[in-house]
Structure 1
Amino acid sequence: MPIYTKGGDKGSTSLYDGQRVSKDSLQVEVYGTFDELNANVSLADKFCQVPKNVEWLQWVEYHMFFLQGELATQHATTFQQNSRMITEEDIQFLEHVIDEYTASLPAVDSFILPGSSTAGAQLHVCRTVCRRAERLLVKFMQTHFVRPEIEKYVNRLSDFFYIIARSEDHEHQLRVIEDQVIKRYCQAVKGDQ
């Protein structure tokens, strides 16, 4: 069975509820940007060295389908009848992770470079794509109703990517220091022989 439908050959696409809109509509731009974000999150989780971070990023990837699905529907109630939606509990989960890492990581009192590790750098890409998607969402909300939970979730999501990036960078720095200590120790042992 082919993956193409030919339905979009004339510049329109179907939303979740079957309604057709132009491919250049703001609605398509919004959920398409979250789709781009999700692909970047998937890449980020492959670079992560902290198993808990991989687990949390995959949680976000899964929940991104709910977010995109709702945004790709003209009426939220249509989506709600057939799928799960982003909830206050999902927002609280992100806040819990952010608070936990903020308390455990070294304090930051200035701007930081976007990623000293590959995972950290990719997570900062996620953060910036998320902010772009959020700006589009806010613009979309000027003419369309979007549940407040979606707006709050997206706002927390960029902070989540930031703190996970810091976690990965911190872990990377610890490994670099550990490698340097081992290297110097080995050199010192060789020198004593």
Structure 2
Amino acid sequence: MVVLNKIYTKTGDKGQTALGNGERVAKHSMRVNAYGTVDETNSIVGLARLHATGEIDAQLAMIQNDLFDLGADMCRPDIAKDAEAEYTPLRITDGQVARLESEIDAMNGALEPLRSFILPGGSALAAYLHQCRTVTRRAERLSVELASVEDVNTAAVKYLNRLSDWFFVASRVANNDGKDDVLWVPGANR
């Protein structure tokens, strides 16, 4: 259980922060940028949920919890040393990736195939889901960049990749099952 009695610690006043293993790194490090962008995604999911109801809201709640798991995963380097840790570090699993894939398939099964690219918008929920998608893509790019120089859980990168797809398909569901999607018209304003 986490207990936060004091919110400010002053330990980051000189531009460093602690990772999950206690190591101190610069706040602008690649790892902090990656999991910070995951946190940003989670905040936008919270905004999307203001417009969500029913099953999609329940799924977004699960995603928010997963995003905290993902942040915990990414703030803990040295995956090879997990067995030596005081407690088992929290890692994203292939099961969480599979759940997203199952939800994507279920949502997409009710939609007409796309015949054009979609512009972000339509309903408020769809617009926020598109913003979730684009920030998730940035988190994925930062995570892939990090993985090129440090150890990163491969399931975490897969999760981000599927999550952006999930947000895309969910945005179509939020737009009256795609009927209210805003379609791109190439060269329309020439």
2:9 is matched with 5
Equivalent positions of 1:31-180 (< 5 A) are 31-49=35-53, 51-76=54-79, 77=82, 81-170=87-176
TM-score scaled to structure 1, two decimals?
0.84
TM-score scaled to structure 2, two decimals?
0.85
CA 1:150/1:112 → structure 2, altered by over 3 Å: closer, same or farther? Answer: same
Query: Quick check: 2:76–2:89 contact (8 Å CA) kept in 1?
Result: no
Show structure 1 runs of 4+ deviating over 2 A.
78-85, 171-174
Q: Which has the higher helix share?
A: 1
Query: Quick check: 2:120–2:127 contact (8 Å CA) kept in 1?
Result: yes
Q: Shift in Å at residue 84 of structure 1?
A: 3.8
Please tell me the residue identity of whatever aligns with 1:21: V
The answer to whether 1:20 aligns with 2:24 is yes
Query: Quick check: 1:16–1:79 contact (8 Å CA) kept in 2?
Result: no
Please tell me the residue identity of whatever aligns with 1:128: T
Count residues in correspondence. 173
Secondary structure in structure 1 of the residue aligned to 2:118: coil
Which structure would you say has the larger Rg?
Answer: 1
Q: Structure 1: which 5+ runs fail to align? A: 175-193
Q: Shift in Å at residue 90 of structure 1?
A: 0.8
Query: Quick check: 1:117–1:172 contact (8 Å CA) kept in 2?
Result: no
Q: Shift in Å at residue 145 of structure 1?
A: 1.3
Please tell me the residue identity of whatever aligns with 1:124: H
Superposition CA RMSD, Å: 1.9
Query: Quick check: 2:172–2:178 contact (8 Å CA) kept in 1?
Result: no
Secondary structure in structure 1 of the residue aligned to 2:119: coil
Secondary structure in structure 2 of the residue aligned to 1:63: helix
1:84-126 Cα deviation digits (max 9, x unpaired):
4211111111111111111101221210111200000000000
CA 1:164/1:79 → structure 2, altered by over 3 Å: closer, same or farther? Answer: farther
